[in-house]
Structure 1
């Protein structure tokens, strides 16, 4: 699964002021990512606010991204949930021909045991016609997919090919890298830990900050994969403050404001999320101006 190596970006779902899906903005964002050197795009991941989209809106987002991408780079579709039967049914009935893999989050709210998590992903692996990327994000799901469970799944099912590891724990990521099957990919789900994970043997990142700064972030990832450590960390520290800021008041509120500053879409989110406050907007605006001025000088 070399197509999952490098920088993936979790796409936002842009909204108009009336809260309807802004397909024109979504097309601009897709083009901006591709022109910025991103390796693949993730559709309807957490950053895309799928929890508050209707079935019809999800179809609109999928159709818009497929059309805008025009087969230029691989697409990954978020297909996950805490109702195993529902996820299995979607995998069996949805047309997935435009996608290279699915990203499936560990069940949230239910708080299953490790055996429950294993059985959930076993059912998904058996139903999926595409390679499966596990998604571990304990901060959202209230349960951690432990390395032993990941390695068991990766060993038992050939189509479970990777994990987006977003526990925010570099030690846990290193344990995965130490014990995983050879071809299994560990993909960072934390922008701040992307470079350390890559340098420890990770395959890349599924990023949020990369949506706003695809050139800089994807270049950092490339340098990390090439083991050009000093150059990679120079870019990492250049972006580090923005990474912290975009998550301060929730994702995707922060990244949507940056996209607004870049003229790609506005910063509208749907309840229960709200836009970032004026103080954070000012800091993000200042950061963007500084970064763009440095890029211009370069």
Structure 2
């Protein structure tokens, strides 16, 4: 029996395909750990020049739940200024708008739009998980998407939402909303991705993997990219897997995918290791020599010495690949 393809119309604005970094938040080396906007400006430009196709702020890697509303707005304004100063003012910036209430998420979407974001990323509510029925879940996304001035990307990550996991039926329903344009599957469920890509074209509803260690299979299965914490550390190599695949160089893409998958294992362990890796491999290049800039915000702790050494070895397999790839340049106004 043939699969019945969706007949929903293409969305007016779609998240451009490619590899996106969920950008880490960087802090000043003080007890209060204020946001270091200068450091984040430098890191933003480094990621864009590293070939990332877009950036995500205030997601899980950005420690969104630890940031104030005002901090979120200032970070987004800084990112938009950083890409504009590079000469790419329309570069895609996705903002996390996840709140525990419908009202909060709508307000965060409005804030993000005013601060210069292009798209919104939304987790399901999870404070009282037993009360998040299917009707409540679908109603939440519909209500926020109705009011959001930004196109909404559904963010499915059961690990940070008390186990709440949108299934392919839920996502198929949400895909029909004119302002819901894509999903990020950090659940890592490739079968779910295939079910969705078999029903929708990328112009109707785009599917992104939630990490770079299964980017190649995601693309082969009809997905259009991924959002990966590894981009914070090795933006060129992670983006290159996608670029090679698009160029039809699939053998090269697969080979690089294998190395990327081994390096990303450290990111799977904890956000603290992702941030340490960024500090170790990138911090010096940006003139950010204080390791505390890359520490998680309290009460969370930096990794101990054993895990630091382990991370250097695991992530280090990508150093050679990263150095082979040239940075992108952006002539002013292009």
Aligned length: 295
Paired residue for 2:217, among 171, 190, 196?
196
Counterpart of 1:4 in 2: which secondary structure?
coil
Describe how 1:68-217 pairs up with structure 2 within 5 A.
Answer: 68-70=82-84, 71=89, 73-92=91-110, 95-96=113-114, 98-111=116-129, 112-141=132-161, 142-155=163-176, 157-180=177-200, 183-217=204-238
Contact 2:26/2:40 (CA < 8 Å) preserved in 1?
yes
- 2:81 — aligned with what? 67
- 1:279 — aligned with what? 306
Q: Could you state the TM-score of these two structures normalised by the residue count of structure 1?
A: 0.91
* Larger displacement relative to structure 2 (145-154 or 186-195): 186-195
Q: Does 1:225 align with 2:243?
A: no
CA distance in 2, matches of 1:69, 1:12: 17
> How far 1:297 sits from its partner (Å)?
6.8
Counterpart of 2:178 in 1: which secondary structure?
coil
> How far 1:286 sits from its partner (Å)?
3.2
CA distance in 1, matches of 2:136, 2:297: 32
> How far 1:5 sits from its partner (Å)?
0.2
Counterpart of 2:182 in 1: which secondary structure?
strand
Counterpart of 2:311 in 1: which secondary structure?
helix
Judging changes above 3 Å, is the alpha-carbon distance between structure 1 residues 92 and 59 closer, same or farther for their aligned structure 2 residues?
A: closer
CA distance in 2, matches of 1:88, 1:128: 6
Contact 2:215/2:257 (CA < 8 Å) preserved in 1?
no
Paired residue for 1:37, among 48, 51, 55?
51
CA distance in 2, matches of 1:198, 1:169: 14
Describe how 1:5-24 pairs up with structure 2 within 5 A.
Answer: 5-18=17-30, 19-24=33-38
CA distance in 2, matches of 1:35, 1:64: 16
* Larger displacement relative to structure 2 (127-136 or 186-195): 186-195
CA distance in 1, matches of 2:247, 2:67: 39
Counterpart of 2:298 in 1: which secondary structure?
coil
Contact 1:114/1:146 (CA < 8 Å) preserved in 2?
no
Contact 1:12/1:47 (CA < 8 Å) preserved in 2?
yes
Where does the alignment leave 5 or more consecutive residues of structure 2 unmatched?
1-12, 326-334
- 1:236 — aligned with what? 257
CA distance in 2, matches of 1:137, 1:14: 23
CA shift digits 1:247-267 (9 cap, x unpaired):
21x22x112111111224432
> How far 1:97 sits from its partner (Å)?
6.4
> How far 1:225 sits from its partner (Å)?
3.5
Counterpart of 1:76 in 2: which secondary structure?
strand
Judging changes above 3 Å, is the alpha-carbon distance between structure 1 residues 24 and 152 closer, same or farther for their aligned structure 2 residues?
A: same
CA distance in 2, matches of 1:92, 1:54: 15
Contact 2:153/2:184 (CA < 8 Å) preserved in 1?
yes
Contact 1:81/1:108 (CA < 8 Å) preserved in 2?
no
> How far 1:11 sits from its partner (Å)?
0.7
Contact 1:8/1:205 (CA < 8 Å) preserved in 2?
yes
> How far 1:293 sits from its partner (Å)?
3.9
Where does the alignment leave 5 or more consecutive residues of structure 1 unmatched?
none
CA distance in 1, matches of 2:37, 2:140: 34
Contact 1:3/1:39 (CA < 8 Å) preserved in 2?
no
Contact 1:3/1:40 (CA < 8 Å) preserved in 2?
no
Counterpart of 1:163 in 2: which secondary structure?
strand
Contact 2:76/2:115 (CA < 8 Å) preserved in 1?
no
